[in-house]
């Protein structure tokens, strides 16, 4: 599972052979995780995470959606 970017409180990953829709995983340093759907920005939280806690990650993701979707597709082959 390639780490795409590291921030002080989290890292952003795409996992190989993962389910659709195209998404990234935001893994906070304390173990909480949020899935971010790339096509519509929907957040799927496994544990409670405030949007403010991942604001920097969401900005990074939003600035790179087309390339992240392409990377997701490459890793699913």
Residue 59, classed as helix, strand or coil, is: helix
Residue 48, classed as helix, strand or coil, is: coil
Q: What is the pLDDT of residue 46?
A: 81
Which residues, given as ranges, of the chain have pLDDT below 50? none
Q: What is the pLDDT of residue 1?
A: 67
Q: Where are the alpha helices (DSSP H) in 1-77?
A: 55-62, 65-75
**Helix (H) or strand (E) run with residue 27 in it:** strand 23-28
Q: What is the pLDDT of residue 21?
A: 97
Distances, alpha carbon 52 to alpha carbons 1, 9, 21, 48, 66, in Å: 25, 12, 24, 12, 24
| pTM for this predicted structure | 0.94
């Amino acid at each position: 599972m390639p780490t795409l970017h590291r921030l002080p409180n989290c890292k952003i990953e795409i996992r190989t052979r993962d389910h659709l829709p195209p998404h990234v995983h935001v893994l906070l340093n304390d173990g909480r995780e949020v899935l971010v759907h790339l096509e519509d920005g929907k957040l799927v939280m496994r544990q409670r995470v405030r949007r403010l806690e991942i604001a920097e990650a969401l900005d990074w993701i939003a600035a790179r959606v087309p390339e992240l979707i392409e990377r997701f597709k490459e890793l699913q082959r």
